[in-house]
Structure 1
Amino acid sequence: MNYQITIKNIDTVNEVEGYWSDNDLIQLLEKFNYPDGSTAEKKNLPELLEMAISDYEPNEAAQIVLKYKLEDQLNVGQIEQISNNMLIDKVCEEYPEIHLQGTMYHINQLLFKAYNGTFPNAKASVVHFSVVPIDEDVVKPLTKENVLKLLNNGLSDRNLIKRLFENQMSQNIPFPEAEGIVWELTTADHKNYTLVTSENWLNKEDLTHFEFESVLEEIEEEV
C-alpha cells in the first residue's frame, strides 16, 4: 500500500510529560522516606519528590527508582551496576536490551533534574507526522513497526536505526525491535501521528526529506 508521509515537526525534549503518574510519585515518595505524599497537593508532588531524592546519594537513589520500575526485569546485581554506570554514561542509550531503554530514559531524567546535572542529560525526540494512503480511501491503523518502515525513505543512511536494522527497515520481514525503539505512538485519526523515541535513535539531522512516499507491504508469515 502506497503512502504519502509528511514530517511536520521534530521536538527535542529533556523529558516526556505525563510519563510519571501521581500514583508513581506518591509511591516513590514513600520509598524515599516521605510517607505523606498521598495527602500533598498533586501539583506539589514532583517538587517534593525531587527534594526527597536529593537527600540520598545519587547511586543509591538510582537503585531505588530502578528497583521500583524494573525489579521484575533486572536482578539486584544488574540494578547496582546500572545505578553506578548511570552517573558516567547515558545507559538509556546504550543498554543492550532495547525494550528497557525507554524506561531507563525516564528514570535518568528524573534523577538528572533532582541532582541538577549530576547524571548525564539524555534527550528524547517527539516526531509529529502524517501518513495518508495515496491510492485508497481506507485508513488502516499503523503499528510501531509499520511506522518505522514507512519513515525509512526519509532518513539518512547515517541514522542509527537504518544502520543497525537495515534489513528490517527496508525488507518485508518482521521488526520486533520496533516495540522498544518507539516508546510511544499516538493518533486520533490514524492519519496524524505523534511518535516518541530517543534522540539517539532519531533526530532532526537524520531527516533527508520532510515529504516523501513509502510502500508498506504485509509481513509474510513464516510457515
Structure 2
Amino acid sequence: MKYAIKIHKISTVDELENSWNIEDYKELLERFELPGTETTDLKELRELLYMAITDKEPSEAAAIVLDYKLSNELNEGQIDSVSHEMLVDKISEEYPRIELHQTLFNVNQLLYKAFNGKFPNAKATIVDFEITPKANAEKNITKEIALKCFAKNLDSHNVIIRLFGHQLDADEPFEEANDVIWGLQKNGDSYRLITSEYFMSKEEFLSPEFEAKIDFFEEEA
C-alpha cells in the first residue's frame, strides 16, 4: 500500500496537554497529606501539589505518584525500584514495557517540574501532518500505518528502525506500534501523532513531504 505524507509541523515538548486533571491533583494531594483542598483551579492545585511533593525526598515522592498511576501494573518492589532509577535515568524511554512509557513520561515530567530539575527531563514529539492513501490503500489510518510510513522518512540510525526492522518489513505483526505511538488524533484531513522523542526526534526526519510504500504481516495458510 502506498501513501503520500505532508508534514506541517514537528514540535518537541516536555509536557502533554491534559495529562493531569483536577481529580488527579486532588487525589495526589490526599496522598501527599494535604487533603481537603477546596479550590478547583487547575493551576492553583498544581502549585499546591508541587509544594506537597517537594516536602518529600525525591524517591519517596516518585513512589507515591507511581503508586497512584501504576499500582495496577507494577508491584510494590517494582515501584520502589523505578522510583530510584528515574532519578538518574530517563525511565520513560528505557523501561522494557513500552505500554507504560507514556504514563512514566507524565509521572517523570510532573516530578521534574516539581523538583526543578532533579529528575531527567524527558521529551515528547508531536507531528501534525496530512496523509493521502494512493490507489487502493487502506483509508482508515491506524497507528501501524502511520508508524510504518514515518519510518520511511527517518534517519537510518533511528531507534524504531533498529528495534523493529522485522515488523516494519512485515515479517512479523507490529503490535508494538500501538504503544510506540501514544496518540493519533484526526481532525478533518489532518492528523496529529504523539510519541516519545526517544522513538522520533525532530532532527531525524528527512523530508517534509514524501511517499511511503508499506506492507502488512500475513499469516501463512
* TM-score of the superposed pair, with normalisation by structure 2: 0.93
Letter paired with 2:177: A
- Whichever residue aligns with residue 107 of structure 1, its letter is V
**Residue aligning to 2:194:** 196
CA drift of 1:69 comes to 0.6
Report the secondary structure of 2:80's partner residue.
helix
Q: Does residue 32 of structure 1 match 2:38?
A: no
Q: Is the contact between residue 123 and residue 196 of structure 2 (CA under 8 Å) also seen in structure 1?
A: yes
Partner of 1:62: 62
Q: Quick check: 1:122 aligned with 2:122?
A: yes
Structure 1 vs Structure 2: percent identity of aligned residues? Answer: 46
Q: Residues 170 and 215 of structure 2 are in contact (CA less than 8 Å); yes or no, is this contact kept in structure 1?
A: no
Residue type at the aligned position of 2:113: K
Residue 170 of structure 1: CA displacement? 2.8
Q: CA deviation at 1:4?
A: 0.5
- 1:222: Cα distance to partner? 5.2
Q: Which residue of 1 aligns with 2:178?
A: 179
- The 5-angstrom pairing of residues 6-155 of structure 1 reads 6-37=6-37, 39-43=38-42, 44-135=44-135, 140-155=139-154
What CA distance in whole angstroms lies between the structure 2 residues aligned with 1:188 and 1:172? 32
- Distance, in Å, in 1 between the alignment partners of 2:150 and 2:132 is 13
| Aligned-residue CA RMSD (Å) | 1.7
Deviations 1:133-154 (A, max 9, x none): 2336x87222211110111221
Give the drift of 1:218.
4.7
Unmatched tracts of structure 1, length 5 or more: none
Distance of 2:54 and 2:220 partners within structure 1: 52
Alpha-carbon offset, residue 178 of structure 1: 1.1
User: Residue 157 of structure 1 aligns with which residue?
Assistant: 156
Partner secondary structure for residue 10 of structure 2: strand
> How does the TM-score come out when normalised to structure 1?
0.92
Determine helix, strand or coil for the equivalent of 2:132. strand
Matched, 1:206 2:201: no
